[in-house]
Amino acid sequence: MDNLKQIAHNVYFTLKDSSPEAQQKLIAACQKYLTDHPGTIYFGAGILTDELARPVNDRGFHVALHVIFDCLESQNAYQVHERHLQFIEENKENWEQVRVFDSTVGS
């Protein structure tokens, strides 16, 4: 069943204020609002890695969010969860661009 395959939810934030403090503020908000949702297998949030600047690296972001869900149903529930919506509301003013890459992973 496709709805039982794991879902990778990867989000790349380009910030209006890209200062180290603003980046850390967004990471802290990710940790506050986007962790421990039902069905989460993995959560990670961090900054662009300066040392990884190969020609193939897309460097057009400041903060990256990675969440792996156990199935599509869990990812769909996360999208409308009040904590996720509060994260968006409290942080969207500093977003220049948000790119979301969702994919099926695993077997």
Structural contact between residues 88 and 11, judged by C-beta atoms closer than 8 angstroms: no
Model's pTM, two decimal places?
0.92
Domain boundaries, the chain: 7-96
* Span 76-91, pLDDT tens digits: 999 999 999 999 999 9
- For residue range 2-30, what is the model confidence (pLDDT) as tens digits? 567 999 999 999 999 999 999 999 999 99
CA separation for the pair 70, 34 (Å, rounded)? 15
Residue tagged 């990670």 (tokens) = 44
105 with 4: CB under 8 angstroms? Answer: no
The second-level CATH assignment, the architecture, of 7-96 is 2-Layer Sandwich (3.30)
